[in-house]
Amino acid sequence: MQTLFLRLRYVMSKRALKKYLSELPKEELEIQMMDLYQRFPDVKTYYDFIFNPKEDKLVQEAKTKISNEYFPLKRKRPKARRSVAQKFIKHFIKLGMEPNLIADVMCFNLEIGQTFTMDRNVPDSFFKSMVNSFAEMTQFVSQNGLLGAFKERIVKMYKHTQDKHWPFGEEFSKALDILD
């Protein structure tokens, strides 16, 4: 096992790794994979997802935690951190989850943020972060060819920003232009 780490420590290229792995007997490769699975949580998470995705459950858990950021059940004050949703989205992309599920989480984050602003006075920095989320969502939807499935939700979110006179209205318009 240590020879792998010593060899690859100095030569960390895909080609060298591929050559090394092709020379290993199947049993040694299995031992190394099990070691990686046990040692590194990211490897375990990846393989757990690959063999038992439960994508709908993961999406529902993410939506619950995002919602709790804005409308907490156990504490009095909302934290309204965009970073919570961004971590889920980044994680889902890394796992290779279906793009339509990722886009759904992105839209949900924006929709819950819009609901949050209805009866609260929020700082401009909140609206700026929503612009960033909106831009990322429209870009993701465009790149993955999901406009047909999400157009209605996107238009509704955009109209809300205009009807409620959100700051950074022009930035929302620019983010929407990517879909044309």
List, for residues 4-23, the tens digit of each pLDDT value: 555 545 546 788 888 888 88
Q: In a structure prediction context, what are the per-residue pLDDT tens digits for the chain, which is 180 residues long?
A: 455 555 545 546 788 888 888 888 999 989 988 998 999 998 888 888 888 889 999 999 999 999 999 999 888 899 989 899 999 999 999 999 999 999 999 999 999 999 999 988 899 999 999 999 999 999 999 999 999 999 999 999 999 999 999 999 999 999 988 887
Q: Are residues 87 and 140 in the same domain?
A: yes
Q: Are residues 31 and 80 in the same domain?
A: no
Q: Are residues 72 and 119 in the same domain?
A: yes
Q: Are residues 18 and 88 in the same domain?
A: no
Please give the model's pTM, rounded to 2 decimal places.
Answer: 0.81
Total domains, the chain = 2
* Domain enclosing residue 20, as ranges: 2-39
Which long-range contacts does 153-162 make (Cβ < 8 Å, 24+ apart)? 153/107, 153/111, 154/107, 154/179, 157/107, 157/110, 157/111, 157/114, 158/134, 160/114, 161/114, 161/130, 161/134
Which long-range contacts does 121-126 make (Cβ < 8 Å, 24+ apart)? 122/80, 124/167, 124/168, 126/80
Q: Are residues 91 and 151 in the same domain?
A: yes
What pLDDT does 10 receive? 55
Q: Are residues 23 and 57 in the same domain?
A: no
Cβ(66)–Cβ(84) below 8 Å: yes
Residue 48 lies in a domain: no
DSSP string for residues in the chain: -HHHHHHHHH---HHHHHHHHHHS-HHHHHHHHHHHHHH-HHHHHHHHHHHS--HHHHHHHHHHHHHHHHS-SSSSS----HHHHHHHHHHHHHHT--HHHHHHHHHHHHHHHHHHHTTS---HHHHHHHHHHHHHHHHHHHHTT-HHHHHHHHHHHHHHHHHTT-TTHHHHHHHHHTT-
Place of tokens 């612009």: 131
Interatomic CA distance for residues 93 and 102, integer angstroms: 7
